[in-house]
Amino acid sequence: MKTLRTPDERFENLDGYPFEPNYLQIDDGDGGELRMHYLDEGPADGEVLLCMHGQPMWSYLYRKMIPPLTAAGYRVICPDLVGFGKSDKPIQRSDYTYANHVGWLERFVLGLGLNNITLVCQDWGGLLGLRVVTANVDRFARVVVANTGLPDAKDTPDEMAGPMRAMFDSIPALPVPEMGAKLRENENGAGFMYWIKHCDSYPDLKVSNVVAMSSGGDIAESLRKAYDAPFPAEEYLQAARQFPSLVPIFPDDPAIADNRAAWKILEKFNKPFLTSFTDSDPVTAGGHVRFQETVPGAQGQKHATLKGVGHFLQEEAGEEFAQVVVDFCLANPI
């Protein structure tokens, strides 16, 4: 597996990111190794919070949450997924499969020997993290899901695969403003397909533009520098381009069976489980309902809805989200 590694100078003097890097070598599943970067902050003997970012982000997304979480006594582990941040980046888009990413994350968790973990996950952090939870239930003590899901095309008939893929093929790759409008309109359920197509084939994919769109406007130049830092050129962007195409929204997707099997485990998961969604995210709107209704551990919890916040709640309301996590942990001691 051929990989790239973003030059270290791209990460120098980033605003609000003073954390020391840590690295772990994991089996790439192809006869080689991948280097994963992670943050490890707070007391070494503190309860572990495994904070998982999604696409197209990296551990920088959690910079506002780490200080209040560590001040509360927690050990915060925040990895960069393979293909993002300071982690290695395979150069072939075909290397980025859902199954590969689950395997890489599981090897990371096992490699660090983590136990009594509280998973804190958003976006793809949930699509991957929940799969690792359901494969290693004994290692996890609690779960917090935020603006995420575990898609399995539930209630979508198999015969819809063809028409859905035909619709996707007809969609153009739009620039961010137009794509964002389509995402919010979600006409005929096609909103997310515009996001997939933008990442897949729009010529100028820029992560900072995506963050700005989610936040409802422009963002500071210092934030643009930080979110674009991992991707100095097109060849570094292959994970960011491929990830949305891996979301199993089509009923014939190869990940459907494994995600449905994971849901069977979640439907028996009786450890504390919290939803913390926002009210202004068109991507995951309503996604909290299935978790609250079907996961036993979600019953009786003080689920949170963050008001006036978009998709990347760690960026827009990091301190508020951190307090939600702390309150949940205190209310559900290990």
CB-neighbour burial class of residue 140 (10 A; exposed 0-12, middle 13-18, buried 19+): buried
Question: Could you check whether the bond before residue 56 is cis, i.e. omega within 30 degrees of 0?
Answer: yes
What is the rounded distance in angstroms from the CA atom of residue 134 to the CA atom of residue 271? 12
Answer yes or no: 8 catalytic.
no
Closest Cα to residue 192, out of 253, 152, 244, 114?
244
Answer yes or no: 80 catalytic.
no
What is the rounded distance in angstroms from the CA atom of residue 288 to the CA atom of residue 295? 11
Q: Which of the following is catalytic: 80, 123, 152, 253?
A: 123
The set of residues, in sequence order, having a beta carbon less than 8 Å from that of 109 and lying 6+ positions away, is 50, 117, 132, 136, 139
Q: Are 123 and 311 in contact (CB under 8 A)?
A: yes
Q: Which of the following is catalytic: 37, 198, 281, 288?
A: 281
Question: In the structure encoding, which two tokens stand for residue 214, read together?
Answer: 């989610």
Radius of gyration over alpha carbons of the chain, in Å? 19
Catalytic residues: 123, 281, 311
